Structure 1
Amino acid sequence: MAKSMFNLAGRVALVTGAARGLGFAMARALGEFGARLALFDIDNASVQSAAKTLSNDGFEVLNLHGDVTNVSDVTKCIENVVNKYNSLDIVVNNAGIVYNAPAEEMSLKEWKQVIDVNLTGVFLVSQVAGRQMIKQKSGNIINIASMSGSIANFPQPQCAYNASKAGVILLTKSLASEWVQHNIRVNSISPGYMNTHLTAKGLQNPDYAQHWRTLTPMHRVGEPHELTGLVVFLASDASSYVTGSDILIDGGYTMR
């Protein structure tokens, strides 16, 4: 019984920012538990390569190129998923960017770009997917937030990123509250420091890397595969009574 609760066979999962890193790892994990996959990314060559890799490994996968901040791209993405699979059961909003700059020096353009991708993009994908899920009378949305939505990181200055992820956490709760009546669950995952392309520059900076590991009780950064069990849990019936929650996976960073 417990094992079958994690079965995603027949379900359709869309993952944004799926060409690499956390997005690719989560897409693979969902596929391993039976989900049919749709990968959405702004990097066309990379998302095609990611889809080819998963397809060669035996997964059913659709690759989609587009920008999560573009309403037309998002609408076409959802339409293509539904046209191919006839449903959309799971959405993982993972696309994100970061700029590290002191608040007094950050340009308005940089601020807006971070907010647009990290927060507005999550809203747009959720909105369009939510309309389909309301028609289906079921659905599951998982937003990738960050521990940066709950605490201010040190030593890197990243006020726009922190603000965007705090917004994702509250947006998650708001959507969960509105859509619970439609049998749609909405939750967020807040990773700590993970070994991905988004943190690559920081990990190459001795000062940043030392602080990150020292301030994390496990004294290391996380690996993408360490997030996959949680996303499968939230995507499956194993979490059928979970909605509006933000779950931290940060090596103990925020328990201090």
Structure 2
Amino acid sequence: MFLDKFKLDGKTALVTGGTRGIGLSIAHALGEAGAKLILVNRTDPVGGVQELRDAGYDVSFFEGDLLDRSVPQKTVDFTLEKHGRVDILVNNAGVAQHGDTEKFNDDLLDKIMDLNVDAVFRMCRSAIPPMKKQGEGVILNIGSISGLVSNIPQPQTAYNASKAAVHMMTKSLASDYANQNIRVNAIAPGYIRTEMTNLPKENEHWYPTWNELTPMNRMAEPHEVASAALFLCSPASSYVTGEVLVVDGGYTTR
């Protein structure tokens, strides 16, 4: 009975940034649970789409840059044309950038806010109408512990602010659309072993600090976030909405 609640047979899941890292691992989890997958990304640099197909999943790829304001609606339209519904939206695409505030230029600021906040809003705006028409839907936004605490030693005010916005957007949407049977939650990952946390040599001294401040004393693997994502995207979490699930090895407990 309980394991059946994690099944997604007959569901369609749209995952942004789903061709590598956390997004690819989430796509694997949803695909294994039975969902048909639509991935959107500018490129597929590591062959994530083929990897998912080789695993036996039903996968379609929409090539698009979410910094283009028209792409979110085009992505949802593509999903509807393929499968006739949008059951699950995972807003995973994002960008991180470190830098002292007084030296942080407008181009970097705009890129962070455009991708981490504005694109998430537009994806939700485009996906909600078909979800309302269906009578149900699930949205999962990928936030960060950086939206909860000012983590150190890296200076990243703009990134922190963008992820805090994602968390508040999640709660607001959950409140607004709960009566439409649309659940909206977020995950706040800690330090995950992905390309995003591959540091240049001059910043490699940050790794020991990250581990020391994490009670479990290690970085997470992407699949550890994907397992949490499967829970929040599945009927197993049918009475959960407006939550930010922290997956950080205890980092924010200190």
| Letter matched to residue 34 of structure 1 | G
Question: What TM-score does the superposition give when structure 1 sets the normalisation length?
Answer: 0.96
| Letter matched to residue 46 of structure 1 | P
User: 122, 125, 130: which one pairs with 1:124?
Assistant: 122
Q: CA deviation at 1:86?
A: 0.9
* CA distance in 1: counterparts of 2:58 and 2:111, whole angstroms: 33
* CA distance in 2: counterparts of 1:99 and 1:51, whole angstroms: 26
Q: What does 1:73-84 align with in structure 2 at a 5 Å threshold?
A: 73-84=71-82
What per-residue deviation string (whole Å, max 9, x for no partner) do you get for residues 157-200 of structure 1?
A: 11111000000000000011111121100000000000011111
Q: CA deviation at 1:29?
A: 0.6
Q: CA deviation at 1:205?
A: 3.1
3-state SS of paired residue (1:59): coil
3-state SS of paired residue (1:14): strand
Q: Percent identity?
A: 43
Equivalence for 1:101: 99
Q: What does 1:50-69 align with in structure 2 at a 5 Å threshold?
A: 50-69=48-67
| Letter matched to residue 16 of structure 1 | T
Question: What TM-score does the superposition give when structure 2 sets the normalisation length?
Answer: 0.97
What per-residue deviation string (whole Å, max 9, x for no partner) do you get for residues 6-46 of structure 1?
A: 11001000110111000000001100010000111122x43
3-state SS of paired residue (1:111): helix
User: 240, 243, 253: which one pairs with 2:241?
Assistant: 243
Matched, 1:9 2:9: yes
Is the 1:202–1:209 Cα contact (8 Å) retained in structure 2? Answer: no
Is the 1:202–1:208 Cα contact (8 Å) retained in structure 2? Answer: no
Runs of 5+ unmatched residues, structure 1: none
Equivalence for 1:160: 158
Q: CA RMSD in A?
A: 1.3
Is the 1:100–1:156 Cα contact (8 Å) retained in structure 2? Answer: yes
Equivalence for 1:201: 199
What per-residue deviation string (whole Å, max 9, x for no partner) do you get for residues 191-236 of structure 1?
A: 0000011111169833200110111111111100111111110011
What per-residue deviation string (whole Å, max 9, x for no partner) do you get for residues 69-104 of structure 1?
A: 323111111111111111110011000001111011
Is the 1:187–1:243 Cα contact (8 Å) retained in structure 2? Answer: yes
3-state SS of paired residue (2:93): coil
User: 145, 148, 165: which one pairs with 1:150?
Assistant: 148
3-state SS of paired residue (2:104): coil
* CA distance in 2: counterparts of 1:113 and 1:14, whole angstroms: 22
Matched, 1:112 2:110: yes
Deviates more, 1:127-136 or 1:7-16: 127-136
Runs of 5+ unmatched residues, structure 2: none
3-state SS of paired residue (2:70): helix
Matched, 1:18 2:18: yes
